A and B are shown apart, each in its own frame.
Chain A
Amino acid sequence: MIMADSVDLTQKEIQRYSRHLIMPEVGLEGQKKLKAAKILCIGAGGLGSPLTMYLAAAGVGTLGIVEFDVVDFSNLQRQILHDSDRVGTPKLKSAMDRLKSINPEVKLTGYETRLTSENALDIFKNYDMIIDGTDNFPTRYLVNDACVLLKKPNVYGSIFRFEGQASVFDAEKGPCYRCLYPEPPPPGLVPSCAEGGVLGILPGIIGTIQATEAIKIIIGKGETLVGRLLLFNALKMQFREMKLHKDDHCPICGKHPTITKLIDYEAFCGLTRGETSQVEEKKMDASVEITATELQELWKKNPKLKVVDVRNPEEYEICRIEGTTFIPLSEIGSRLGELNKNDQIVLHCHHGMRSMRALEILKNAGFQNLKSLSGGIDAWSVEIDPSVPRY
């Protein structure tokens, strides 16, 4: 519970927040609560951009940001915190500069570090709530567990292509993230945004929903998403709502918790727990990988070398290596007849992950002379042919 009487508003602040102050749902008391509030945002990327900008503008007194990445050209399509001239510079500095100029009254604290089991509790304990704007399963489980252990709300949002999810996990009042998803998918089973793409506006919608929930929790008004999962589909322009239940058997917020301190989340998400797909169970075998330079030499020596591009059609439209055969990973299992078991085959994708999965599929089908291009077409562009656009 955030108290309003610990702070006062200056005349300048009264002017700045006047549209809040004149509405009964916020008012002077609500605005003071916002000023007294301390919010930590994990990530200053897709979700972090809109939500930190709105929270700063709204007058949240203290904003903490955890981010260690560098601004990349491919971020600019949706991460509106960062300007084009910030490409190549630290995201944290870029974010803090932008937020400062939006509202100099806000106290900003930056943590230029990866969130880990070692530092999470120490960082979280200074804040009233955490907003999860990360992009990977280990960090999402880490954020959840740290929030449950510290009894703090976790404002959740997640996006893929043109679909988003949002909720508020507060184990004191309802379910936590583990109640919803007891275990993460095995690595590689669910494509990431880097692999599957994301509509640039989508994090704007989900991130502002997260910011809205954060503000409602602070001022204590309205009905939050505790116990509800909001699903958004931008193409259908449809919101749906699912009921969430606290799981009595939840390992961290259930009746008999087995997780009482932070664990190794990389191992939790990377190790094969229970059932996983056959492909994922196989360990990556580095000996089947070749570099772009090695591929070029091999191709010269063996002009009949079969080089198979397993990317998606949309990626094939962007760029391709001349002379390759195009079979998307999702189709390769049903198009084995187009390949000859006696051929030497090199598989490639964008960065070298999906080609390894394709290699496993071919291996299981009895193909033997297989290689995967390490670093994918991106490495080919860097090492061999710069006329191939990088994306």
Chain B
Amino acid sequence: MSVEIQIPVALARYTGNQESLKLSGASVEEAIRNLTSQFPSLKNHLLDKKGEIRPFVNIYVNDQDIRHGKQMKTALKSGDVVTIVPSIAGGNK
């Protein structure tokens, strides 16, 4: 099951500046596990100690927020795009 994971620029420094990665995973949980085992320092930015998505990070499968679906158990099919979108605040200064 090959999926694409899109990393936001705010977190790309933890993936060696790669913004798009091809990974395998039958669920978001599996894909994120594969991602964070490749880039361990990214894990703390995405998940809390219980393995749940941090409240200032959203994960979308295609255009759907997994928080409003089956969360980390959301199933993936080949070709799905998993997008990580953290909260950013810049705009004035």
Contacts and interface: CB of A to CB of B under 8 A. Distances in A.
Interface of A: 43-48, 69, 75, 132-137, 140, 157-163, 165, 180-185, 189-194, 196, 198, 203, 206, 229, 231, 233, 240-245, 247, 274-275, 277, 330, 333
Nearest to B20: A236
Interface residues of B, number: 30
Contact of A181 (B14, B41, B55): B55
B68 A245 contact: yes
Given A243-B63, A274-B48, A134 B13 contact: no
Nearest to A161: B9
Nearest to B69: A245
B93 A241 contact: no
Interface stretch (B24-32, B70-78, B79-87): B79-87
Given A194-B93, A330-B14, A137 B63 contact: no
Nearest to A178: B55
A233 B88 CA distance: 14
B90 A229 contact: no
Contacts of A192: 89-90, 93
Nearest to B68: A245
Q: Which of B8, B41, B49 has the most CB of A within 10 A?
A: B8
A172 B60 CA distance: 24
B1 interface: no
The 4 closest A-B pairs by CB, nearest first: A45-B92, A275-B48, A183-B55, A135-B92
A47 B45 contact: no
Given A185-B56, A242-B63, A190 B91 contact: no
A330 B13 CA distance: 7
A299 to B, nearest CB: 30
Nearest to B81: A240
A233 B87 CA distance: 15
Nearest to A236: B19
A275 B63 CA distance: 27
Main secondary structure of the interface of B (DSSP, over half): loop
B36 interface: no
18 contacts: A43-B91, A46-B93, A47-B92, A69-B92, A135-B90, A161-B10, A184-B56, A184-B89, A193-B93, A240-B83, A242-B63, A242-B83, A243-B63, A243-B65, A274-B55, A275-B49, A277-B44, A330-B13
Contacts of B2: none
Contacts of B38: none
A388 to B, nearest CB: 22
Nearest to B90: A193
A181 B63 CA distance: 16
Contacts of B50: 275
A194 B92 CA distance: 10
A135 B93 contact: yes
A242 B60 contact: yes
B70 to A, nearest CB: 14
Contacts of A194: 93
A243 B90 contact: no
Contacts of A181: 55-56, 58, 87
A198 B65 contact: no
Contacts of B58: 180-181, 242
Contacts of A190: 10, 56, 86-89
Nearest to A72: B93
B91 A162 contact: no
Given A69-B93, A181-B55, A242-B60, A137 B87 contact: yes
Contacts of A43: 91-92
Q: Which of A190, A196, A247 has the most CB of B within 10 A?
A: A190
A157 B14 CA distance: 25
